[in-house]
Amino acid sequence: MLFVAYHSIFYQFYPNGSGRLGHDYALAVPGFLAGYYWFQSNGIWEVPWFTPGFCGGQPFFADAQSGYYSVFQFLTLIVDPLSSLYLSMLLFAALGYWGCYFLLRRCFAVSWQSAVVAAAIFMFNGFFAHRMIIGHLGYQGFMLIPWMTYLLVVPTPAVGFRWPNTTAAGCLAGVVGAYWVHSRLGTLLIPAGLAVALMLLMYWIWVSQPRTGQIVYRSLFGALVAAALSASKLVAGISFLANFPRSDYLLPGYQSIGAATKIAIMGLFISPPDIEKYSNALLKNVQWSGGRPDLEFGVTMVPLLILAVVACIGIARLATGKAVFEPLTRDSARPDRHDPAHAHCAQHVFAGLECPAQADSANQVEQHTDSMVHHLHSIFCLGFGDCLRANHGLDAYLRGDSRGRAGGRNQLDAGSKVIHSGAL
Alpha-carbon dihedral angle through residues 150, 154, 160, 162, given to the nearest 10 degrees: 80
Name the most confidently modeled range: 91-105, 234-248, 397-411.
91-105
The pLDDT assigned to 395 comes to 57
Residue 304 has pLDDT above 60, yes or no: yes
Q: How many CA atoms lie within 13 A of 88 on its CB side?
A: 31
Contact 297, 268 (CB under 8 A): yes
Contact 389, 304 (CB under 8 A): no
Per-residue pLDDT tens for 309-336?
888 888 887 877 766 555 454 444 444 4
Three-class secondary structure of residue 328 per DSSP: strand
For residue 266, give every residue at least 6 positions away whose Cβ sits within 8 Å of its Cβ, in sequence order, or none: 272, 275, 278, 295
Per-residue pLDDT tens for 259-303?
889 888 888 888 888 888 888 888 888 887 777 778 888 788 888
- Any idea where the domains of the chain sit in the sequence? 2-421
Q: What is the 3-state secondary structure (H, E, C) of 394-416?
A: HHHHHCCCCCCHHHHHHHHHHHH
Three-class secondary structure of residue 355 per DSSP: coil
Tell me the percentage of the chain whose pLDDT exceeds 70.
74
Per-residue pLDDT tens for 3-35?
999 999 999 998 877 888 888 898 888 888 999
The pLDDT assigned to 405 comes to 38
CA distances from 156 to 46, 109, 149, 150, 151 (A): 39, 14, 14, 12, 10
Residue 163 has pLDDT above 50, yes or no: yes
The pLDDT assigned to 392 comes to 55
Quick check: pTM over 0.85? no
The pLDDT assigned to 396 comes to 54
Q: Measured between alpha carbons, how far is 254 from 378 in angstroms, rounded to an integer? A: 14
Q: Measured between alpha carbons, how far is 284 from 234 in angstroms, rounded to an integer? A: 31
